[in-house]
Structure 1
Amino acid sequence: MSIDEIKQVIVDQSEILTRKMRGNIIKRDVPDLLKYLKIPNALAILGVRRSGKSTLSILLLKDKKFSYINFDDERLKGLKTEDLNKILQAIYELYGDIEYMIFDEIHNVEGWELFVSRLRDIKKIIVTGSNSKMLSGELATFITGRHSDYVLFPFSFKEYLRFKGWEVQETDLYSTFKISQLKNELENYLIEGGFPESILLGRDQINFIYNDILFKDVISRYKIRDIEKFRDFARTLISYYSNEVSLRALSKVIDVNKVTVESWANGLNDAYLIFFLPRYGEKLRQRLTYNKKVYTVDPGIISNIAIRGKDKGRIMENLVAIKLFRELQGTEHLFYIRNNYEVDFYDEINSRLIQVTYASDKVENREIKGLIEGYKLTKAKELIIVSWDIKDTLKVEGREIKIVPVYEFLLK
């Protein structure tokens, strides 16, 4: 590929970005990521496809001079490692000696790690990617401790409301009228989800996004041959949202060997489409042998793709899970507990136990008992029940249990 051809791609993409940035760009609720852009540290913004990674990258640098190139462009397909230096030359010829560079989906180019490793000593680099394994190869080897990564999710409920023009205030949570509006919008969010394109262009976009994730981020990357069976597996696994899943049992159901099923599941997890939550065990060996619970990255995927009945309680639990994944940036210190009782979430970092129930009148005793028994095991400092719309505080066996409506939990 010639340098002039690369320049054309860069300029065309720049013009599209300029038009895009004139539109309704929503502020994302993310930490101060610019503090990680210090030479020789590279910033990697990761997350599911179409979650807004490139837009966030551009927003971070909106007051600075930077270059941008998206390697998901079909004109760049088949780009070789040796072509990356032509990319750099084209950038210099177009923009001069600039300080900031954004490389969008650069993991599409094999050998990109060495290129970024070389550049981050003289430039402030943002790379984006829709696969969690992009930092587990040579990049991690070459710049261990010299990169920071942040996982971006589709719009949270708060960001969804912001997109709709509503910046929720603390006082809104005490207004009867505003609370009724919040519950109506939450019902909409459960169906539409938080992918920016699906909110802007309609629910049909979710199917396009979902298929892009399957084909570009899993099937192509992992060279899956039995595409139809894989698609059936993916849809089935998504339908288990907020439930324990046995991959061994699932492999028998779809008549695919367990090793293949585990590989497929890891591919969906690497693409940020699903997340696995481990069961809490006091010993590490126990944690490794227990079944995990599965959650889906966005409620819109559930409402459009899942083949099982839509269960409001399970959807609420999935919402809470994604909020916790977003806040904790992973599941390393997040668990569910199942002994003779069940606790939906044990947040080890913040020392809190969380139950989720679709209750709008009375919380069942088993939810309360689960928290108390969970406390005896973990000594967690905070016990929370997330309900549909109950707000209360209980005292049970000397422990305080806060009951909060799901809309409040998601917004605070």
Structure 2
Amino acid sequence: MNVEEAKRIVADQKDLIQEKMSSNYVERDIPSDLSIYLSVPNVLAILGVRRSGKSTLSLLLMKRMRVNFAYLNFDDESLYGITAKDLRNLEQGVYEVYGGNVNYLVLDEVHNVKGWELFTSRLRETKRVIVTGSNSKMLSGELATTLTGRHSDVVLFPFSFREYLRFKGESEEVPISTKRTAEVKTELEKYLEDGGFPEALIIGKDQVDIIYNDVLFKDIIFRYKVREMGKFKDFTKSLVSYYSTEVSLSKLAKTISVDKKTVDQWAYGLENAYLTYFLPRYGERPRERLTFSKKVYVIDPGIISRVAIKAKDKGRVMENTVFLKLARENQLKGMYYIKGGDFEVDFYDELNSRLIQVTYASDKVEEREIKGILKADEVVKAKERIIVTYDIDGIEKIKGKEIKMVPLYKFLLLHW
């Protein structure tokens, strides 16, 4: 790639970005003010599944800060196959198109280029750099070594229920009146079916299928050089269908006649691409946490609706949605499920010392759910015990322990 070709690509992308900057976008709920991470030589990394809004969030941040920035999208087909040597010409193209005084750089999906780490490391010495990526391990290689901790990362998810309401122009406040509560619950039913991918909400449900296939082919099949594509797709479909349950990769490997090592690599790739998450079982010893079985969760309710083999289980969809809320708020840290001989609790939020049980109950919470959370509390001594229900609201005090019953719609809207 010569400099003139690089200039043309940069200029074309600049035109597209200027159009996007003039549009109105939904403000995202993120853990903190991202601008504080933009200081030389720190790199801000915005990570997450494809089409979750990473580049849009980057542009919103630049727009809010009112700074002179340049944008490069490495997911552009014009940049397919470029090498580290081409990055110098792209850099020169940026300075010629945007001007030499550009101080901020947004490098969108830059991990598509081999050797991007050294390029980014050099730029961050004088520029404030944002990188986005759909691979959770992109910061665990040479860049992490080069930066020696000088990077901050945030994981962005598809719309939460609160953001979904914001997108639709609806109030995201916890409803008080009977009428508004009914309206919010109707919207929740739609959200549990359609999910929160922005493109799918704008264009239509079929867009979820496109996003799903893009993740499979671009982030896993291509990246990990998957040969048995048919079996890989069967495996992924089966894994998605196990949402909110314990999963045995060994059994899945036997079912599709693939060796365990291959299945482990596929599962690793799916989690790196943010399509699925494997929640560990809580163990008091670190070794226990590594050897126990894990539960699988899926990035968005829309994927479950479009991909899962079996008919949807309302309670499991609720549980998956609660997981996603916790994962957003905790940035995937300090989360477990607890299981004993005769009980199980869906989530132990270790960061906030909370036990959370999820049940599709609208009249009465079953005794086993209450016993389970009390037994788990004997193990971890949590500060808060919550049972997320479909429609039950209130507080019960049992054996001196307070248990909050919270309807799903309220749990998703509250700032805990």
| TM category, shorter | over 0.9
Look up the match of 1:241.
Answer: 243
Q: Per the alignment, in what secondary structure is the counterpart of residue 267 of structure 2? A: helix
Distance 1:149 1:264 in 2: 24
Task: Give the match for residue 94 of structure 1.
Answer: 97
Q: Match for 1:2: what amino acid?
A: N
Residue 360 of structure 2: aligned partner: 358
Q: 2:312 aligns with which of 297, 310, 313?
A: 310
Alignment of 1:2-21 (within 5 A): 2-21=2-21
Other-structure match for 1:75: 78
1:124 maps to 2:125:
no
CA distance in 2, matches of 1:250, 1:404: 35
| Alignment partner, residue 107 of structure 1 | 111
Structure 1: distance between partners of 2:356 and 2:81: 47
Deviation at 1:4, TM superposition (A): 1.6
Q: Deviations over 1:147-198 (max 9, x none)?
A: 001100000000000000013234xx21111110111001101111100000
**Residue matched to 1:43:** 44
Letter in 1 for 2:20: K
Q: Please, which runs of 5 or more residues in structure 1 have no aligned partner?
A: none
Q: Secondary structure at the match of 2:138?
A: helix
Q: Which runs of structure 2 are paired with 1:302-381 in the superposition (5 Å)?
A: 302-330=304-332, 332-339=333-340, 340-381=342-383
* Partner SS for 2:283: coil
CA RMSD, 1 decimal = 0.9
Q: Deviations over 1:79-113 (max 9, x none)?
A: 11011111111111112221100000000100000
Confirm whether residue 167 of structure 1 aligns to residue 168 of structure 2: no
Which residue does 1:146 correspond to in 2?
150
Cα deviation, residue 398, structure 1: 0.3
Q: Report the counterpart of residue 23 of structure 1 in structure 2.
A: 23
Give the Cα separation in 2 of the matches to 1:262 and 1:406. Answer: 34
| TM-score, scaled to structure 2 | 0.97
Counterpart residue number, 2:33: 32
Residues 325, 412 of structure 2: 8 Å contact kept: yes
State the 1:341 CA deviation. Answer: 0.3
- How far apart in 2 are the matches of 1:144 and 1:46? 19
Q: Provide the C-alpha distance between the structure 1 equivalents of 2:25 and 2:155, rounded to a whole number of angstroms.
A: 19
Q: Distance in 2 between matches of 1:10 and 1:192?
A: 35
- 1:243-265, Cα deviation, whole Å (9 max, x unpaired): 00011111111110000000000
- Residues in 2 aligned to 1:150 and 1:4: alpha-carbon distance in whole angstroms: 35
Deviation at 1:21, TM superposition (A): 3.1
Query: Which residue number corresponds to residue 259 of structure 2?
Result: 257
In 2, the alpha carbon distance for the partners of 1:125 and 1:2 equals 24
**Residue 133 (structure 1) aligned with residue 137 (structure 2):** yes
Q: What does 1:58-73 align with in structure 2 at a 5 Å threshold?
A: 58-62=59-63, 63-73=66-76
**Are 2:69 and 2:103, in contact at CA under 8 Å, matched by a contact in 1?**
yes
| In 1, Cα distance between equivalents of 2:21 and 2:321 | 29
Gaps of 5+ in 2: none
* Partner SS, residue 44 of structure 2: strand
The farther-off stretch of 387-396 and 20-29 is: 20-29
1:200 positional shift: 0.2
Instruction: Measure the CA separation in 2 of the matches of 1:359 and 1:333.
Output: 27
Question: Aligned partners of 1:24, 1:316: CA distance in 2, in Å?
Answer: 31
Q: Alpha-carbon deviation of 1:314?
A: 0.2
Q: Give the distance between the partners of 2:196 and 2:16, measured in 1 at CA.
A: 23
Give per-residue Cα distances to partners, 1:1-30, cap 9 Å, x unaligned.
122212221222222222233334110011
Q: Give 3-state SS (helix, strand or coil) of 1:265's partner.
A: helix
Secondary structure at the aligned position of 1:133 is classed as: coil
Q: 2: distance between equivalents of 1:334 and 1:104?
A: 29
Deviations 1:267-316 (A, max 9, x none): 00000000010001111111111110000000000001111120000000
Mapping of residues 189-338 of structure 1, within 5 Å: 189-330=191-332, 332-338=333-339
| Aligned mates of 2:322, 2:72 — CA distance in 1 | 35
Which piece of structure 1 moves more, 233-242 or 84-93? 84-93
- Amino acid aligned to 1:167: S
CA distance in 1, matches of 2:218, 2:312: 28
CA distance in 2, matches of 1:269, 1:234: 11
Contact kept in structure 1, 2:10 and 2:90, CA below 8 Å:
no
Query: In structure 1, how many angstroms separate the alpha carbons of the residues matched to 2:289 and 2:111?
Result: 32
Q: Which residue matches 2:53?
A: 52
CA distance in 2 between partners of 1:17 and 1:119 (Å): 21
Name the aligned partner's letter for residue 104 of structure 1: D
